[in-house]
């Protein structure tokens, strides 16, 4: 007997879970995937070349809104949820939709999805999207490089193009981003590493990606995506908890799992948080993960040219996922703009066109920050048109991607950058060094 299954995803964990759990288990037949959160990813299929010998055709990917119909049409037995940063109540709403349609609802855990490396592994995950994982990961990678350690940085997947060409990706130079036709969202994650002379791996097949990284590394450093769990079993689990969203560490899937599982909890953006929110974070850590070491930190935000923006009318572009499904109203770009004394932050909403206007409609919390959305050539053109219609003196770019590489704009772009700064607790580099010394 074979169970007929659907995997609910967002072009990330769904493909990993398929390759790790389903591909070589003929007792589970994946009829299709559904897609959510990321635009345009439901307009393709999962290639049979990657699906293994039990699949004779590509596996279709449908919009998640068709889930109920798909369950009934294909007589589905199980639906597996395989994407992240969902409020707990939204997870159960999806479970209710699935069960009302007659199928069973399931979540795969680490025992069935984690890969095991032959090298020491440090995993950096988070409570929410946009908590500050990557600045911490980059700081650790710099420290390790300075100590003579070759860290194989592996990033949570972002395969938004042709999956056949994205099975294993290695980025060592900015030209590699162009060669892989990376979206703005992919560049946000990969560019800071390669700009710093570091190599980062990503793609679709993480068993092969891990094997490739191990060949040129002394250890593996997992840079998570959203608030998803690590794909690789770690000896040191670090979870970044956003102090500006205190309480979310117990209210979002699978961020709560990361919070409870962490060896080291890093509270981020502490200087911008209220005393009440910090007290709540510490209370939740004591109650739900009392054995974890707690560190407080902040993100130091700087502008490449602060004098150039003073008194000017600006459009502020910030990290896309942080603003959209991450739920933040603004990011580092807005922090930098206000600190530098700009004359006006232009509200982009009246000027937004196409998919950018739709994003403002879909994410009603957004105001003056413009999310760096660029999942396709068309969307990048709409982002550029939105900026041009707003007619700013210049653009403050808080996106790690460096939007001037992806957009052709008539006005100057000043980048806002941010870096990890520890404020309290045992030095995180010492914690990492002690872990590696004992591995």
User: Domain boundary residue among 54, 78, 112?
Assistant: 112
Structurally, the chain folds into a number of domains equal to 3
pLDDT for position 322: 87
Average pLDDT over residues 251-256: 98
Q: Is the pLDDT of residue 422 over 90?
A: yes
187: domain CATH number is 3.40.50.300
53: domain CATH number is 3.40.50.720
Q: Which of 35-44, 61-70, 213-222, 285-294 has the lowest mean pLDDT?
A: 35-44
Do residues 331 and 369 lie in contact, with contact meaning Cβ atoms separated by under 8 Å? yes
pLDDT for position 346: 98
pLDDT for position 404: 86
Q: Is the pLDDT of residue 375 over 90?
A: no
Provide the whole-model pTM: 0.92
Regarding whether 407 and 431 lie in a shared domain, the answer is no
Average pLDDT over residues 216-245: 98
Regarding whether 20 and 153 lie in a shared domain, the answer is no
pLDDT for position 43: 74
Regarding whether 208 and 133 lie in a shared domain, the answer is yes
Give kind and range of the element (H or E) at residue 238: strand 236-242
Regarding whether 137 and 63 lie in a shared domain, the answer is no
User: Domain boundary residue among 66, 94, 112?
Assistant: 112
Regarding whether 12 and 69 lie in a shared domain, the answer is yes
Which pLDDT tens digit goes with each residue over 164-212?
999 999 999 999 999 998 888 888 899 999 989 999 999 999 999 999 9
Position 431 confidence tier, pLDDT thresholds 50, 70, 90 = very high
Q: Report the alpha-carbon distance of residue 274 to residue 240 in Å, rounded.
A: 18
Regarding whether 262 and 146 lie in a shared domain, the answer is yes
Average pLDDT over residues 73-88: 98
Domain that includes residue 31, residue range: 3-112
Q: Report the alpha-carbon distance of residue 309 to residue 303 in Å, rounded.
A: 9
Q: Report the alpha-carbon distance of residue 28 to residue 4 in Å, rounded.
A: 6
Regarding whether 167 and 73 lie in a shared domain, the answer is no
Average pLDDT, the chain: 95
In percent, how much of the chain has pLDDT > 90?
A: 87
CA 247 vs CA 51, 240, 251, 284: distances in Å: 39, 13, 7, 8
pLDDT for position 98: 99
Regarding whether 358 and 342 lie in a shared domain, the answer is yes
User: Domain boundary residue among 112, 144, 165?
Assistant: 112
């Amino acid at each position: 007997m074979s169970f007929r299954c659907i995997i609910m995803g967002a072009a990330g964990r769904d493909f990993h879970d398929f390759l790790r759990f389903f591909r070589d288990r003929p007792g589970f037949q994946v009829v299709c995937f559904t897609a959510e959160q990321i635009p345009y990813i439901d307009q393709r299929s999962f290639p049979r070349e990657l699906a293994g010998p039990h699949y004779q055709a590509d596996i279709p990917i449908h919009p998640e809104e068709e889930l109920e119909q798909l369950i009934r049409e294909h007589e589905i037995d199980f639906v597996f949820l395989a994407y992240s940063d969902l409020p707990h109540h939204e997870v159960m709403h999806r479970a209710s939709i699935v069960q009302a349609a007659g199928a069973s609802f399931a979540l795969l855990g680490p025992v069935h999805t984690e890969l095991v490396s032959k090298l020491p592994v440090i995993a950096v995950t988070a409570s929410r999207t946009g908590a500050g994982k990557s600045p911490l990961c980059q700081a650790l990678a710099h420290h390790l490089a300075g100590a003579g350690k070759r860290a194989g940085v592996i990033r949570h997947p972002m395969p938004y193009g042709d999956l056949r060409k994205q099975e294993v990706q290695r980025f060592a130079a900015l030209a590699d981003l162009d060669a892989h036709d990376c979206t703005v969202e992919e560049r946000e994650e990969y560019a800071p590493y390669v700009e710093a002379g570091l190599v980062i791996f990503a793609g679709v097949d993480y068993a092969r990606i891990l094997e490739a990284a191990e060949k040129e590394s002394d250890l593996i450093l997992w840079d998570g995506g959203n608030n998803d769990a690590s794909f690789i079993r770690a000896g040191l689990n670090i979870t970044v908890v956003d102090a500006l969203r205190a309480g979310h560490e117990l209210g979002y899937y699978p961020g709560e799992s990361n919070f409870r599982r962490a060896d080291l909890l890093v509270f981020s953006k502490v200087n911008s948080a209220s005393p009440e929110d910090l007290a709540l974070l510490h209370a939740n850590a004591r109650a739900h993960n009392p054995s974890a070491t707690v560190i407080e930190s902040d993100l130091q935000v700087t502008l490449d040219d602060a004098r150039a923006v003073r008194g000017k009318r600006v459009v502020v572009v910030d990290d896309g996922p942080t603003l959209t499904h991450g739920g933040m109203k603004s990011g580092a770009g807005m922090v930098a703009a206000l600190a530098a004394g700009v004359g006006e932050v232009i509200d982009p909403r009246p000027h937004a066109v196409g998919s950018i206007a739709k994003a403002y409609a879909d994410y009603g919390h957004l105001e003056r920050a413009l999310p760096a959305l660029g999942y396709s050539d068309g969307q990048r053109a709409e982002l550029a048109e939105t900026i041009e219609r707003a007619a700013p003196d210049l653009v403050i770019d808080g996106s790690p991607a460096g939007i001037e590489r992806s957009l052709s704009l008539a006005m100057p772009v000043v980048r806002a950058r941010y870096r990890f700064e520890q404020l309290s607790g045992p030095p995180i580099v010492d914690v990492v060094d002690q872990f590696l010394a004992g591995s």
